Amino acid sequence: MARRLLAAGHAVTVWNRTAAKAEALAGAGAHAVSDLQDAVRGAHIVISMLEAGPTVDGVLRAALPGLAQNALWIDMSSTQQAEAQAFHAQLTAQGRRFIDAPVSGGVGGAAAGTLAIMAGGAAEDFAEAEPVLAAMGRATLVGPAGAGQVAKLCNQLIVGATINIVAEAILLAQAAGADPAAMRAAIRGGFAESKILDVHGQRMLERNFVAGGKVSTQLKDQRNILAAAEAAGIVLPLTELVTARYLTLSKTIPQADHSAALIGLEQLNPGQRVGDAPDKLS
């Protein structure tokens, strides 16, 4: 994502909790710094991309003393809706501005600049941020602060559930005597076609579970979905089942790709296994 910003001609200062990760971008034209406040000082727009809400909270609090008045902080991490709303309240109370703008599209989308970006915040702040976000993908304002995280959770709800359904279809084909690869090819182009069937269906057939999106990350998202549902006063029974599946999988292979839902399904069905290739986990 930083490389896409640089390629679009933006001046980018980079900081990372692991300094070597920031320094690796120096060759692409970024100004790498080792101090967080040096990174944000004087910046009109600050973009964060971190692992979870508590990490965003810690970085934001540490950066705040160096953050310019009226600066716009765009958090592209995946957090809880309530966390994003708290970040917004904290920054606006201090004379700064905030947008939550989580993304979907994975490592490939980030590298290609084709991420789906779901933004929550004030319309005027989004209008200012949109030309910058455009370097990384397609941004859509979906509501006030926190709404971007809701949209991302809806995305992850569909992704997490569909991965499990694709795994069930592939295992059913295998167990019932059909060729799983041929089944997948046959249904593509019909109503069951999806990015999940395309990308993760192929991963399952190849037994390639090297992480793009980790089981542990999907489990975090599933829990955030259920937290948002509870706050909204609704029940999501299928999401509860999907969360339980990822919780089980996280106990043995938390760092595997979330398409390893197939492995969990095979464990429920002793003697059934798709293909004969060894599992590729790292």
Active-site amino acid positions = 152
Which residues in 206-241 are b (16+ Cβ under 10 Å) and which e? Answer: ebbbebbbbbbbbbbbbebbbebbeeeeeebeebee
Distance CA 249, CA 271 (A): 18
| Buried-state track 124-147, b at ≥16 Cβ within 10 A, e below 16 | ebbebbbebbebbbebebbeebbb
Give the integer Cα–Cα distance in Å for 126 and 74. Answer: 10
Angstrom CA distances, 11 to 54, 70, 197, 200, stand at 28, 19, 39, 36
3-state secondary structure of 169: helix
